[in-house]
Amino acid sequence: MPYKSGRHFLQIPGPTNVPDRILRAMDRPVIDHRGPGFAELGLEILRGLKSVFKTDQTVVIYPASGTGAWEAALVNTLSPGDKVLMVETGQFATLWSNLAKRFGLSVEFIPGDWRSGVDATQVKEVLGADAKHDIKAVCVVHNETSTGVTSNVTAVRQAIDSEAHPALLMVDTISSLASMDYRHDEWGVDVSVSASQKGLMLPPGLSFTAISEKALLASHSSGFAKSYWRWDEMLRANGKGFFPYTPATNLLYGLREAIVILSEEGLDNVFARHNRHAEATRRAVKAWGLEILCLNPEEYSSSLTAVLLPDGHDADEFRQLVLDQFDMSLGSGLGKVAGRIFRIGHMGDFNDLTLMGTLSGVEMGLRLFGFSDVRGGVEAAIDYLTGIRAKQSG
């Protein structure tokens, strides 16, 4: 491959770009994971993650992708044959449903159009009809990475409570944690799962789970066979800052630095930055005359934007052109929207100039791809961003 000058633009919705500070934090010798120095690291990051989840409850870390956290959530709280309620919001909700089926869980999967979030009214209706309380858990994706659609977790919690239903609420927050406002305790979530390679700005390899007291109690009667994923063994070791097996030591160094970075910026400022970049991106898309996959503005994601190309245009061919011409990676369409959409990731270590470079690459790519009349998207984003800065400075 010939050398390409400049940096590669990795604008997929995760893994995201890793800041130099985190890379440097991980670039150090491995220490004894049974020694006192590691115990201090372990206790520090476990405390820090609670602030990111906005919880005072238990948080555990596994060396795994988010898929591992999905599995741990199910096998620690449920038993074979239990019924769970899930909602089809996109590819990752579908994959979590498939994983549950492989474990012998009975899944009621509310169908969706991949352009909308969870309809809490439908959840309420299903739970209301479950007089025997056979449904043991409601599992939803907060921010569907495959579609750029966000679901209202609070409304789902209210639907459960309005029926006085005892089901656990489990939420996938993999592409929203540390990018969009998420409140494990306040929203009444029992199990929140996430991963390192999105808003936390780390390489893939760590999964995180916040666990309510109700979920911990349910884990005591779980009927699934498990070893690696056992919460109780993890929690016993975590109490002193350790892990029951060899942890991903250097990724944990990076995690500590990521938590420091988020604290320095302030989570509210992090969320505001993501909101700002998402709105600028949407304005660019609309100026190009293209369609945002998410139908409801109230459900727009602040982590990514999925863009629907007109019929007859292959989104994967467009992505390949952008990669070849401008050395920029855009997210592909997955599952039911494969070949129809491309996804612009704008989460993690990201600023105004990074966004403008990204949108410029997309606009140039669209012109080369046959949309010769495309104009004004970059200008619309600039107008929005500079307008906000002018108001702040005024």
DSSP for 24-77 reads HHHSS----TTSHHHHHHHHHHHHHHHHHHT-SSEEEEESS-HHHHHHHHHHHH
Rounded CA gap, 362 and 378, in Å? 9
Give yes or no: residues 73 and 140 share one domain: yes
Q: Of 215, 237, 263, which closes a domain?
A: 263
Q: Is residue 325 part of a domain?
A: yes
Domain that holds residue 287: 9-16+266-393
Give yes or no: residues 166 and 235 share one domain: yes
Q: Residue 144: phi, psi to the nearest 5?
A: -75, 105
CATH number, domain with residue 376 = 3.90.1150.10
Q: How far is CA 250 from CA 43, 336, 359, in A?
A: 15, 37, 34
Give yes or no: residues 97 and 226 share one domain: yes
What confidence score (pLDDT) does residue 389 get?
87
Give yes or no: residues 351 and 230 share one domain: no
Q: Is residue 1 part of a domain?
A: no
Long-range interactions of 233-242: CB distance < 8 A, separation 24+: 234/60, 234/62, 235/58, 235/60, 238/42, 238/46, 238/60, 240/39, 240/42, 240/43, 241/38, 241/39, 241/40, 241/41, 241/42, 241/43, 241/46, 242/33, 242/34, 242/38, 242/39, 242/42
Q: How far is CA 347 from CA 71, 76, 207, 352, in A?
A: 25, 31, 18, 12
Give yes or no: residues 48 and 171 share one domain: yes
- Tell me the pLDDT of the chain (394 aa) as tens digits: 788 899 999 999 999 999 999 999 999 999 999 999 999 999 999 999 999 999 999 999 999 999 999 999 999 999 999 999 999 999 999 999 999 999 999 999 999 999 999 999 999 999 999 999 999 999 999 999 999 999 999 999 999 999 999 999 999 999 999 999 999 999 999 999 999 999 999 999 999 999 999 999 999 999 999 999 999 999 999 999 999 999 999 999 999 999 999 999 999 999 999 999 999 999 999 999 999 999 999 999 999 999 999 999 999 999 999 999 999 999 999 999 999 999 999 999 999 999 999 999 999 999 999 999 999 999 999 999 999 989 888 7
For the chain, the first-to-last Cα distance in angstroms comes to 49
Give yes or no: residues 40 and 178 share one domain: yes
Rounded CA gap, 222 and 231, in Å? 11
Rounded CA gap, 346 and 349, in Å? 9
What confidence score (pLDDT) does residue 392 get?
87
Q: Residue 132: phi, psi to the nearest 5?
A: -90, 0
What confidence score (pLDDT) does residue 120 get?
98
Give yes or no: residues 184 and 311 share one domain: no
Q: What number of other Cβ atoms are within 10 A of residue 378's Cβ?
A: 22
Give yes or no: residues 304 and 278 share one domain: yes
What confidence score (pLDDT) does residue 352 get?
98
Contact 169, 124 (CB under 8 A): no
What confidence score (pLDDT) does residue 60 get?
97
What confidence score (pLDDT) does residue 30 get?
93
Give yes or no: residues 323 and 228 share one domain: no
Q: Which of 316, 10, 341 is nearest to 149 (CA)?
A: 341
CB neighbours of 37 closer than 8 A, spacing ≥ 6? Answer: 31
Rounded CA gap, 314 and 334, in Å? 13
Contact 174, 204 (CB under 8 A): no
Two structure tokens written together for 189: 């979530």
Give yes or no: residues 308 and 248 share one domain: no
Residues forming a β-bridge with 329: 10
Number of domains, the chain = 2
Q: Of 209, 234, 263, which closes a domain?
A: 263
Q: Is residue 246 part of a domain?
A: yes
Give yes or no: residues 231 and 311 share one domain: no
